[in-house]
């Protein structure tokens, strides 16, 4: 398997992240994305806010040193959540699982939470492989799809020693 790592996000990564996040197949799976993934101005504003937020920890996922996606932790409604987005060229090879395992190992807060659209079976499998378990479901508007979608909420709780 390739070497997967997380590194600090830099200005040179922004074009690759923008292109990755506007991939129509990825938007279909992620669902809860920007309503217009092709709007670069909105993307730049969003990522500047995220990078300036002390509650957000954003990383670039690398595969053998090359760009393979992003992974982050952030606060939502008082809970610490994880998120990841893997570029299509890195799908299906364990990159997401390895990246999430690294992210979780670097984040001390427990419990951790995550979300996935119910039709994103690959992401659900990644979360479960990394120890997350489903806690609830709801239906919410998915801007990337322009319709209602079932969203699954997951948690990772501390293990008992």
Work out the number of other CB atoms within 10 angstroms of the CB of residue 24: 11
When divided into structural domains, the chain yields a total of 1
Across the chain, what does the average pLDDT equal? 95
Query: What sign does the CA torsion over 47, 51, 53, 59 have?
Result: positive
Q: Nearest Cα to 25, choosing from 144, 125, 159?
A: 144
Q: What is the pTM of this model?
A: 0.94
Instruction: Give the range of the structural domain holding residue 17, as residue numbers without chain letter.
Output: 4-156
The dihedral built from the CA positions of residue 40, 46, 52 and 56, taken in this order, carries a sign that is negative
Confidence of residue 153 (pLDDT cuts 50, 70, 90): very high
Instruction: Say whether pLDDT at 68 is over 90.
Output: yes
Q: Please report whether residue 48 resides in a domain.
A: yes
Over residues 62-75, mean pLDDT: 98
Does 161 fall in a domain?
Answer: no
Domain of residue 103, CATH code: 3.40.630.30
In 10 A of CB 136, how many CB atoms? Answer: 9
């Amino acid at each position: 398997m390739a070497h997967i790592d997380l590194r600090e996000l830099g200005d040179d990564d922004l074009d690759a992240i923008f292109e990755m996040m506007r991939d129509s197949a990825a938007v279909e799976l992620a669902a809860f994305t920007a309503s217009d993934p092709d709007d670069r101005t909105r993307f730049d504003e969003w990522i500047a806010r995220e990078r300036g937020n002390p509650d957000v920890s954003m990383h670039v996922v690398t595969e053998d040193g090359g760009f393979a996606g992003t992974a982050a932790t952030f606060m939502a409604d008082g809970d610490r959540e994880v998120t990841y987005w893997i570029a299509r060229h890195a799908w299906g090879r364990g990159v997401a699982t390895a990246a999430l395992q690294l992210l979780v190992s670097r984040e001390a807060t427990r419990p951790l939470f995550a979300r996935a659209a119910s039709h994103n079976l690959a992401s659900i499998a990644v979360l479960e492989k990394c120890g997350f378990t489903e806690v609830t479901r709801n239906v919410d508007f998915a801007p990337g799809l322009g319709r209602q979608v079932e969203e699954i909420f997951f948690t990772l709780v501390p293990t008992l020693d």
